[in-house]
A and B are shown apart, each in its own frame.
Chain A
Amino acid sequence: MKLTLEIWRQKDANDKGHFETYELDNVRSHMSFLEMLDVLNQELIEKGEEPVAFDHDCREAICGTCGFVINGVAHGHMKRNTVCQLHMRTFNDGDHLVLEPWRAKAFPLVRDLIVDRSAFERIQRAGGYISARTGSAPDANSILIPKEQAEAALDFAECIGCGACVASCPNGAAMLFVGARIAHLGFLPQGQPERVERAKAMVAAMEQEGFGACTNYTSCEATCPKGVSIVGIAKMNKDYFNAKLFSGGNLGGKE
């Protein structure tokens, strides 16, 4: 299989960046997309050029490290997938593919297809957890959780933090990511005591990082490799609303 790849090249955050075009022969159908890029990089190195920098690690669609945009779609055209598990058999001989990094104000570019997602770290540190001091937990079966509820929590906990939701959103919003954590912990009895504070803290951190607002495009849900539902956003809004209404704050209209 032969491919034409148009790839975003940018040395660092200060560089202007540009597209570079590469022709690649001998692409095998059983390769993953990243293995195809490995082959390209080997060729570039052998020719004395700099390889394309891209983030990746587990290559099993679970660590959330990899991700870029292929022909305008985050993680490419296959649903519920990451680029590491996207296989070349789903492409055609002669395809022309444009590869770009996640583009969002809150994700500054590092190099080529790599962006800085540390904004996600700061949001999670603001309150995306249950404070459970080691050693203080009761017997695990003393907290009964209906199966459906545990499964719903897990559906949201599956978020891999890749950032595709932000990259897909015309507003560069991180609400699916934040909503996923809030819904995961909010579905569990253990998560209730800090539920209100969690929503307030995470939403405040999210806004501070410069992520956009949600206007219900739902492209985040469509490209999420784990199929996280926008119900998480509704849960987040509800918790945030309750936080503002019932914990002495206001809705932001007046000081």
Chain B
Amino acid sequence: MKLEAKIPSGPLADKWTDYKAHTALVSPANKRKHTILIVGTGLAGGGAAAALGELGYKVKAFCYQDSARRAHSIAAQGGINAAKNYQNDGDTVFRLFYDTIKGGDFRAREANTYRLAEISNEIIDQCVAQGVPFGREYSGYLANRTFGGAQVSRTFYARGETGQQLLLGAYNSLNAQVNAGNVDVFERTEMLDLIVIDGVARGIVVRDMVSGEVSSHFGDAVLLCTGGYSNVFFLSTSAKGCNGSALWRAYKRGAAFANPSFTQIHPTAIPQSGDFQSKLTLMSESLRNDGRVWVPKKAGDDRPPNDIPEDERDYYLERIYPSFGNMVPRDVASRNAKNVCDEGRGIGPTKRGVYLDFAVAIERLGVDVIKDRYGNLFEMYEMINDEDPYETPMMIYPAPHYTMGGLWVDYDLMSNMPGLFVLGEANFSDHGANRLGASALMQGLADGFFVIPNTLGQYIAKGKHPDVDPNCDEVRKVEQDAKDFNQKLLDIKGSKTVDYFHRAMGMIMLDKCGMARSKEGLNEAIEKIGKLKEEFWADVKVPGTGESLNQELEKAGRVADYFDLAILMCLDAREREESCGGHFREEHKTEEGEARRDDENFCHVAVWEWMGEDQAPQAHKEELEFEYVELTQRSYK
């Protein structure tokens, strides 16, 4: 397998400008002759559909939701980073780039990450032009807040619903292009497979989720913008429908999977309350701006939080990391929460929780200011937990949230398969082993609105792209494979539900491939998940038929893929004999219990190639070269 990152030469700060100046272009008259298929309509997919439609390409966009506006980008709460330096606090493009590379524990590509930081400013301009009502000062200027892993205030926000507002901005732009006749949107349509002809991605097979009809669409490029796969853990902050199947099925057709085990466990979610829980709800990281994290000093202290005196509380993040305090990156905050709970100092009914306390901020700033900043989050917390966080500290605990891993892409965002592009959370490129807060929205919009419109032209201009014969053998076979896969699931007619299997797998993954991993544990997980997979294929019960709306069939297909993906995640985690970012191997830690990287042996992207059912995947490497940053041990002390 050839992995050419195609990073432009020249100084870091000039690469993107030079690239744009020399890239091949497609003339406006010719763009409309090219059909681009886009799967997923979140910030990356919706943004790409809008921007490519504006350029004049013929775009077909697909989403499993009943509206493009419901993609899970909508649930992002806290904000979006940009190096505007509106606060005059010393921010620059380089600093945002450096924070992101360091936050990712030096496992991301320099050139991609620098481009992301560079584009961040254009994104904010574009969003404001679209009518995104960001938070403002009384003077009318844009306001900022601070996020984890940074010592500058560079995060733009719209209350605690920034993702919603940004997605509506992208969605509105998408709608303008639908109205202009450049984009067609196919809702309630799920991608089942990728059509590859002569090694080139040429189309997708989809299922109409209402009628059950399976059909094919063809184009000159396929863009996967399908988000992350945290639902492999069953309980995560993802929407219930979020899934890894588009990525997985593309992987099985030849696309390489990079760093599959790099997952982010977000520190501030509402703890699990019982066995019937269907998902975990995030409380935005922005809360750590004003909230202080603590647990009782004594193990087993069952007093209500307000009865525990100040000197019997351990504000452990402030104690261990005095310079960043409560604003340490997510992986560090999560791991420390796990540690104090493992010591028996966890709080709440399950003892897997820590307090997030606003008492000091409320006293200093007043209730109104706190309400203005986080009102809707406090309301949501009260709705779920039946406790008023203005009076009693919140209870929080880490939850699977984001996947830094994804399909491998080069600088153009094209996978190793010509014609297959991967944008946003679905690719691996910008966040290394840990993503900083307020960077996912930034990457989604950067990839969709600003990167792909400039990189796609090169591929379109230089290739031939002959029409695909819809009746050719390749197409027929992939369609038949997709139908057979679903029929196989329906025909098992076993005794256990899809959710039963998904929950069981999720528990294994969280325990063995979550916040702490070990070789022994990963081996155990691989074995257990393998067995569970066998049981699934022998005993799952999927009611109904494929010829109508069938939510259980949709879930079954996704869970079937999760088994294989989970095993690949465990293999990847086992192979990486170091700790970095969110990937923490028990065997590799410093004396203080911090992650110990091994730059000599693991300063690379682990890239996996599918070798067939029941075959071990083949491991490849893309070495990471750092010219502009020095690899240091990450310290937030």
* Residues 122-146 of B contacting A (Cβ, < 8 Å): 122, 124-131, 133-142
Of B546-554, B575-583, B593-601, B624-632, the one touching chain A: B546-554
Do B274 and A145 touch (CB < 8 A)? no
* Smallest Cβ-Cβ distance to B498: which chain A residue: A45
A35, A55, A127, A150: the one contacting B136 at CB < 8 Å is A150
A153 within 8 Å of B by Cβ? yes
User: Which residues of A are found within 8 Å of B138, using beta-carbon distances?
Assistant: 146-147
Interface residues on A, range: 35 or more
A38 within 8 Å of B by Cβ? yes
Do B133 and A153 touch (CB < 8 A)? yes
Given the complex of chains A and B, what is the CA–CA distance between A192 and B159 in angstroms? 24
* Smallest Cβ-Cβ distance to A48: which chain B residue: B543
Supposing A87-B383, A111-B549, A124-B175 touch, asked if A62 and B66 sit within 8 A by C-beta, the answer is no
User: Which residues of A are found within 8 Å of B137, using beta-carbon distances?
Assistant: 147
Do B173 and A129 touch (CB < 8 A)? yes
A245 within 8 Å of B by Cβ? no
B412 within 8 Å of A by Cβ? no
Given the complex of chains A and B, what is the CA–CA distance between A56 and B551 in angstroms? 11
* Smallest Cβ-Cβ distance to A26: which chain B residue: B276
Do A150 and B134 touch (CB < 8 A)? yes
Given the complex of chains A and B, what is the CA–CA distance between A110 and B173 in angstroms? 28
Quote the shortest CB–CB distance from A100 to chain B (angstroms): 18
B210 within 8 Å of A by Cβ? yes
* Smallest Cβ-Cβ distance to B282: which chain A residue: A60
Do A118 and B499 touch (CB < 8 A)? no
Given the complex of chains A and B, what is the CA–CA distance between A120 and B278 in angstroms? 28
B175-193 interface bits toward A, Cβ cutoff 8 Å, 1 = contact, 0 = none: 1101100000101000000
B95-132 interface bits toward A, Cβ cutoff 8 Å, 1 = contact, 0 = none: 00000000000000000000000000010111111110
A208 within 8 Å of B by Cβ? no
A161 within 8 Å of B by Cβ? yes
B297-334 interface bits toward A, Cβ cutoff 8 Å, 1 = contact, 0 = none: 00000000000000000000000000000000000000
B188-214 interface bits toward A, Cβ cutoff 8 Å, 1 = contact, 0 = none: 000000000000000000000010000
B43-86 interface bits toward A, Cβ cutoff 8 Å, 1 = contact, 0 = none: 00000001100100000000001110110101100000000101
B366 within 8 Å of A by Cβ? no
Supposing A58-B239, A60-B75, A190-B129 touch, asked if A128 and B136 sit within 8 A by C-beta, the answer is no
User: Which residues of B are found within 8 Å of A116, using beta-carbon distances?
Assistant: 66
Quote the shortest CB–CB distance from A220 to chain B (angstroms): 19
A3 within 8 Å of B by Cβ? no
A31 within 8 Å of B by Cβ? yes
* Smallest Cβ-Cβ distance to B126: which chain A residue: A137
B30 within 8 Å of A by Cβ? no
Do A132 and B129 touch (CB < 8 A)? yes
* Residues 216-238 of A contacting B (Cβ, < 8 Å): none
B238-278 interface bits toward A, Cβ cutoff 8 Å, 1 = contact, 0 = none: 01110000000000000000000000000000000110111
User: Which residues of B are found within 8 Å of A53, using beta-carbon distances?
Assistant: 549, 551
B544 within 8 Å of A by Cβ? yes
* Smallest Cβ-Cβ distance to A43: which chain B residue: B497
* Residues 81-104 of A contacting B (Cβ, < 8 Å): 81, 85, 87, 89
A69 within 8 Å of B by Cβ? no
Quote the shortest CB–CB distance from B89 to chain A (angstroms): 15
Do B161 and A158 touch (CB < 8 A)? yes
User: Which residues of B are found within 8 Å of A57, using beta-carbon distances?
Assistant: 65, 70, 72, 239-241
A46 within 8 Å of B by Cβ? yes
A185 within 8 Å of B by Cβ? yes
Given the complex of chains A and B, what is the CA–CA distance between A136 and B55 in angstroms? 13
User: Which residues of B are found within 8 Å of A131, using beta-carbon distances?
Assistant: 176
A130 within 8 Å of B by Cβ? yes
Question: 9 interchain pairs (CB within 8 A)?
Answer: A45-B543, A49-B543, A56-B240, A59-B279, A111-B210, A118-B187, A137-B128, A147-B136, A147-B140
Please give the residue numbers on chain A whose beta carbons come within 8 Å of chain B beta carbons, in ascending order.
11-12, 28, 30-32, 34-35, 38-39, 42, 45-46, 48-51, 53, 55-65, 80-81, 85, 87, 89, 110-111, 114, 116-118, 120-121, 124-141, 143-147, 150-151, 153-154, 157-158, 160-161, 184-185, 187-188, 190-191
A-B complex: 3 closest residue pairs judged by Cβ atoms: A144-B140, A129-B172, A137-B129
Known: A12-B549, A50-B543. 9 other contacts (CB 8 A): A45-B543, A58-B72, A59-B281, A87-B384, A116-B66, A130-B130, A144-B140, A157-B165, A184-B131
